[in-house]
């Protein structure tokens, strides 16, 4: 006769004879919690008492989780509900008026994407809390909106980006019109995302393998990658280049990064010149021989700069060459590391990469000369790796 196996009450286990309640957080509600399991000591060694307590706690959790799920639901009657006109407070603009003013004033020269993003962020806010005057949104409303975004399975980075954009929009209209109301998004808390990894620099051996592949395929997409690899440009900066930005007949060949109608620059420091060396010079020569006013007409023209499309195409190809770990932006990280490793100082690195200035003093003068920058850029390609598979690659040394 087999001995009886003791069965613990549902959702319980024992530790040193004491019963503990344990329940896994539902997958759809994980963004609300810092742990994936809820564990609580029932402080009893009695199976009967533990069973009663476990049922009670489980019931409480079910009720709480139901309320959370209901709070995430869109209005079930949305399809048949009439739009109720907003009743704004006198003297305070509604979210739609905020959107109109923001795009009209701040959106000048920024392209269609700017307006589309602002409209999408405002639509999120109105879907969750309804259209109101901006003074009718409270900090508690902002917290509700944050939870609503998490309930839609958005990442921490996405929630931070949306709430940050709305904070900027509210700040703009409050300051622009001298309004006496608080910004509800000024202090909304967004939990840190410990799972988010920063983009990794592409190692020297993979860099050589990538550059060799660019030479082998020798088309416009590979010219774009090669040009970024030895200049550290942002992808949008490279995609938006025009033929007039390339100066190959100069004693020190260089490219000029300047704002254009279809492509703005990220910061004031982004406007700069970069000497062309190595694979970037090879790619620039290829691009210069093409009969088109834009360097990469597949992704850029007078009205649009499709850097997102270029990013998707390049990253898909990168996976086949150097694996899933790296993306095109990793070349920019590599560029900074390579300049560090040849001994370039921070001021020079920031100037070449177009990074924002950290001190007032950095803004004085005209910066390093093109000839001086060319000397340091040349150091990046002085010691190529012996092979793309080398473990002791000295490209960055």
Same domain assignment for residues 234 and 139: no
Question: pLDDT (tens digit, 9 = 90+) per residue, 202-215?
Answer: 999 999 999 999 99
Question: pLDDT (tens digit, 9 = 90+) per residue, 171-223?
Answer: 999 999 898 899 999 988 887 664 555 678 999 999 999 999 999 999 999 99
Position 225 scores a pLDDT of 95
- Please report which confidence band the pLDDT of residue 277 belongs to, taking 50, 70 and 90 as the band edges: very high
pLDDT at 1 over 70: no
Question: Is residue 328 domain-resident?
Answer: yes
| Contact (Cβ atoms closer than 8 angstroms) between residue 330 and residue 200 | yes
Listed residue (21, 2, 1, 18) closest to 10, CA to CA: 21
Q: Within 13 Å of residue 154, how many CA atoms lie on the same side as its CB? A: 20
Q: In angstroms, rounded to a whole number, what is the distance separating the alpha carbons of residues 239 and 308? A: 10
pLDDT at 80 over 80: no
Question: Is residue 81 domain-resident?
Answer: no
Same domain assignment for residues 66 and 100: no
Question: pLDDT (tens digit, 9 = 90+) per residue, 292-317?
Answer: 889 999 998 888 888 889 999 999 99
Q: Range of 353's domain?
A: 204-379
Question: Is residue 397 domain-resident?
Answer: no
- For tokens 């989780």, what's the residue? 65
- Please report which confidence band the pLDDT of residue 259 belongs to, taking 50, 70 and 90 as the band edges: confident
pLDDT at 396 over 80: no
Question: Is residue 2 domain-resident?
Answer: no
Helix (H) or strand (E) segment spanning residue 24: strand 18-24
| Contact (Cβ atoms closer than 8 angstroms) between residue 57 and residue 21 | yes
Helix (H) or strand (E) segment spanning residue 20: strand 18-24
The edge-to-edge listing of strands for the beta sheet with 246-247 is 246-247, 254-257, 272-275
Q: What are the Cα distances from residue 321, in Å, to 214, 224, 316, 327?
A: 10, 16, 9, 11
Q: In angstroms, rounded to a whole number, what is the distance separating the alpha carbons of residues 246 and 250? A: 10
Position 229 scores a pLDDT of 95
Same domain assignment for residues 238 and 375: yes
Question: Is residue 192 domain-resident?
Answer: no
Same domain assignment for residues 265 and 333: yes
Same domain assignment for residues 344 and 236: yes
Same domain assignment for residues 58 and 157: no
- Please report which confidence band the pLDDT of residue 390 belongs to, taking 50, 70 and 90 as the band edges: very low
Q: pTM (2 decimals)?
A: 0.60
**How many domains is the chain partitioned into structurally?**
3
CATH number at residue 271: 1.10.443.10
Same domain assignment for residues 102 and 147: yes
Same domain assignment for residues 147 and 256: no
Q: Which of 71-75, 224-228, 260-264, 377-381 has the highest mean pLDDT?
A: 224-228
Instruction: Identify the residue with better confidence: 382 or 367.
Output: 367
Same domain assignment for residues 55 and 100: no
pLDDT at 40 over 70: yes
Lowest mean pLDDT among 65-79, 201-215, 268-282, 336-350: 65-79
Task: Give the chain's length.
Answer: 397
Mean pLDDT of 22-47: 89
Question: Is residue 285 domain-resident?
Answer: yes
Give every CB contact of residue 210 below 8 A, 6+ residues apart in sequence: 202, 225, 229, 318, 321, 322
- Please report which confidence band the pLDDT of residue 41 belongs to, taking 50, 70 and 90 as the band edges: very high
Mean pLDDT of 261-280: 84
Question: Is residue 188 domain-resident?
Answer: no
């Amino acid at each position: 006769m087999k001995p009886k196996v003791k069965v613990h009450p549902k959702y319980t286990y024992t530790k040193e004879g004491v019963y503990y309640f344990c329940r896994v957080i539902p997958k759809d509600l994980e963004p609300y919690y810092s742990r994936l399991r809820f564990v609580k000591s029932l402080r009893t060694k009695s199976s009967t008492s533990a069973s009663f307590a476990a049922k009670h706690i489980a019931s409480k959790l079910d009720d709480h989780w139901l309320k959370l799920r209901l709070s995430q639901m869109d209005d079930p009657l949305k399809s048949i509900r009439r739009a109720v006109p907003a009743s704004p407070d006198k003297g305070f603009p509604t979210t739609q008026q905020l959107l109109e003013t923001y795009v009209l004033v701040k959106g000048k020269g920024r392209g269609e994407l700017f307006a589309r993003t602002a409209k999408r962020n405002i639509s999120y806010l109105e879907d969750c809390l309804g259209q109101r005057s901006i003074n009718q949104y409270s900090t508690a409303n902002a917290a509700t909106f944050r939870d609503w975004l998490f309930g839609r399975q958005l990442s921490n980075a996405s929630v931070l980006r949306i709430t940050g954009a709305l904070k900027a929009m509210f700040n703009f209209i409050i300051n622009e019109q001298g309004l006496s109301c608080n910004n509800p998004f000024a202090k909304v808390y967004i939990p840190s995302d410990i799972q988010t990894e920063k983009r990794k620099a592409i190692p020297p051996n993979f860099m050589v393998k990538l550059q060799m592949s660019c030479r082998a395929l020798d088309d416009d997409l590979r010219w774009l990658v090669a040009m970024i690899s030895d200049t550290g440009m942002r992808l949008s900066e490279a995609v938006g280049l025009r033929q007039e930005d390339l100066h190959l007949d100069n004693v020190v060949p260089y490219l000029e990064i300047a704002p254009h109608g279809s492509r703005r620059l990220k910061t004031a420091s982004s406007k700069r010149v970069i000497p062309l060396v190595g694979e970037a010079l090879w790619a620039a020569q290829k691009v210069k021989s093409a009969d088109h006013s834009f360097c990469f007409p597949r992704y850029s023209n007078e009205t649009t700069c499709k850097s997102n499309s270029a990013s998707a195409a390049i990253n898909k190809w990168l996976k086949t060459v150097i694996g899933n770990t790296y993306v095109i932006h990793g070349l920019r990280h590599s560029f900074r590391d390579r300049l560090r490793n040849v001994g370039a100082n921070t001021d020079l690195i920031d100037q070449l990469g177009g990074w924002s200035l950290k001190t007032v003093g950095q803004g004085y003068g005209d910066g390093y000369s093109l000839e001086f920058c060319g000397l340091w850029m040349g150091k990046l390609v002085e010691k190529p790796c012996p092979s793309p598979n080398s473990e002791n690659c000295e490209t960055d040394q």
